[in-house]
Amino acid sequence: MLALPRHSDGVQVTLPELIARAEHQGLIRSHHTNNAKALQAGERLSRLKGRGMEFAEVRAYQYGDDVRSIDWRVTARTGKAHTKLFRDEREQPVLLCVDLGSRMQLGSKLVLQAVQAAHLAATIGWHVSNQGDRLGGIIVNETDHSELKPRARRGGLLPLLESMVELQPTTEHNNDYWQQALERLHRLARAGSQVVIITNPLGFDEASMQQIRRLRQHAQVRLFCITDPLFEQLAQQRHSLPVRLPNHDSNSWLDNAGSTQLANRWHQAQQNAERFGRQHQLPITEISAAIPLEQQWQKLWL
Considering the chain, what percentage of its residues have pLDDT values greater than 70?
81
Percent of the chain with pLDDT over 90: 49
> Greater confidence, 136 or 57?
136
Give the pLDDT confidence of 227-265 residue by residue, as tens digits. 998 877 766 665 555 555 554 444 555 566 656 777 788
Beta strand 284-288 pairing with 220-227: parallel
Is pTM beyond 0.75? Reply is: yes
What is the per-residue pLDDT for 15?
Answer: 96
Could you give all domains of the chain from N- to C-terminal order, each with its CATH number? Answer: 15-32+91-299 (3.40.50.410), 53-88 (no CATH)
Interatomic CA distance for residues 150 and 296, integer angstroms? 27
Q: What is the mean pLDDT of residues 117-127?
A: 96
pLDDT tens digit sequence for 175-193: 899 999 999 999 999 888 9
Quick: pLDDT tens for 13-50. Answer: 999 999 999 999 888 987 544 444 333 433 333 444 44
- Spatial CA neighbour of 234 closest among 99, 105, 106, 102: 106
- Average pLDDT across the chain, whole number: 83
Helix (H, G, I), strand (E, B) or coil at 49: coil
Residue of 119, 99, 104 whose CA lies nearest to 295: 119
Q: For residue 166, report the phi and psi dihedrals to the nearest 5 degrees.
A: -70, -30
Q: Give tens-digit pLDDT for 154-172.
A: 899 999 999 999 997 777 7
> Packing angle between helix 113-131 and helix 154-166, nearest 10 degrees?
170
d(CA 249, CA 263) in angstroms, rounded, equals 24
pLDDT of residue 156: 93
C-alpha pair distances (Å), 297 with each of 119, 272, 294: 13, 26, 6
Beta strands (DSSP E) in the chain are 52-60, 82-89, 94-99, 134-140, 145-152, 194-199, 220-227, 241-243, 252-254, 284-288
What average pLDDT does this structure show over 273-289? 88
